[in-house]
Structure 1
Amino acid sequence: MTGTSAGQTGLVVRIPEAEPAVGQWRERLDPVAREGVPAHVTVLFPFLPASAIDEGVLTALGEVFGRHRSFQAGFERCGRFPGLLYLAPEPDAPFRRLTEAVVERWPETPPYGGKYGDPVPHLTVAQRLDDAALLEKAEADITSRLPFTAQVSSVDLVAHDGTRWQHRRSFPLAP
């Protein structure tokens, strides 16, 4: 959710259980944390422009997510992409199914604009960082605070207002 502008939206699963392990690092090393985004696993970014989200879209999102059951995800390890440190959810298949369901309904919204072939569900801790020593330090500290489990029971629609990300709506998963 980097390089955002006013009117962009995303669909995310908040993971409040992650905050004790990653909160201080995200605040320091993840720009979107400073823009109001809590620890999360992205379901889809970017989604539709905020100006295109009306009651019909909100109703459809509720229907799409309501067909998926809530689930638990464990976070036991860190992973890396170039310049990025993340936590890997296990299992990741339920997150993938949520993404696939949204893209099936709105095929014009491929994950990350189609930039990556098969996006990997992850909880970003640090991004756009080329300081290997700092990444190592963060990873060692976070690893010492793992594992934890999160209950996933909803997906949130967030929108960027030009400065910060704002929560727009939560969509419950089936119990």
Structure 2
Amino acid sequence: MTDDGASGAFLAGQTGLIVTIPEAEPVVRAWRERLDPGARAGVPAHVTVLFPFLEERDIDASVHAAIAEVLSGHEAFDLRFEGCGRFPGTLYLAPVPDTPLRRLTLAIAERWPRNPPYGGRFAEVVPHLTIAQDQEPHVLSAVEAGLRPRLPFSAHVSSVALMAYDGTAWQHRTTFPLPPATTTG
């Protein structure tokens, strides 16, 4: 999740759905804590599924059930993080493959069409794990050079987390499991 881009701050009551990537923490934590406002506000290493989501006051048992229903059609999956990518002022790790993440985002956004990813600011949603935001290119290059020897690493995605901003920090609210991957053959 990123801040709202306008005020440079998160808003109390905002929520987001994310895929946490605990395997990334040893690789990116130090940089994220220094260079990513989300990390400083309590968001773990993650790939965003949908942000902003609903206001926290609008999330009840029926919304939880609807999220679980949507996610029940998406199996757990594995990712690799092999390299970095950039947006203006931002450095991120690129998940491979990104198709399962795109499908999660599309499914949730289709169920809640009034909540497009990133408020509809981008024509295409690119799954990514943010490391640094609002930084000069030389800072991003230095971080990328420092990351290179620690790549690649793999991660297993078996759930989606609902996070909410309480005005001070992001808080984990609940986790929605993804069904285990089925094997064929």
- Classify the TM-score, shorter chain: over 0.9
Query: Which amino acid in the other structure matches residue 145 of structure 1?
Result: R
2:51 matched residue in structure 1:
45
1:136 matched residue in structure 2:
141
1-side partners of 2:153 and 2:72: how far apart?
25
Q: How does 1:1-175 map to 2 (within 5 A)?
A: 1-3=2-4, 4-130=10-136, 132-175=137-180
1-side partners of 2:60 and 2:14: how far apart?
14
Query: Which amino acid in the other structure matches residue 125 of structure 1?
Result: I
Residue aligned with 1:96, SS = helix
Give the conservation status (yes or no) of the 8 Å contact 1:66–1:171. Answer: no
Residue aligned with 2:53, SS = coil
Give the conservation status (yes or no) of the 8 Å contact 1:62–1:171. Answer: yes
Residue aligned with 2:54, SS = coil
Residue aligned with 1:170, SS = strand
Residue aligned with 1:144, SS = helix
2-side partners of 1:112 and 1:2: how far apart?
10
Deviation at 1:129, TM superposition (A): 1.2
Query: Which amino acid in the other structure matches residue 96 of structure 1?
Result: R
Deviates more, 1:134-143 or 1:146-155: 134-143
Deviation at 1:19, TM superposition (A): 1.0
Instruction: For structure 1, list consecutive stretches of 5 or more residues without a partner in the other structure.
Output: none
Residue aligned with 1:94, SS = helix
Instruction: For structure 2, list consecutive stretches of 5 or more residues without a partner in the other structure.
Output: 5-9, 181-185
2-side partners of 1:55 and 1:142: how far apart?
41
Aligned identity (percent) is 61
- Runs of 4+ with >6 A deviation: none
RMSD: 0.7
Deviation at 1:136, TM superposition (A): 1.0
2-side partners of 1:19 and 1:51: how far apart?
30
TM-score by length of 1: 0.98
Query: Which amino acid in the other structure matches residue 35 of structure 1?
Result: A
Alignment: residue pair count = 174
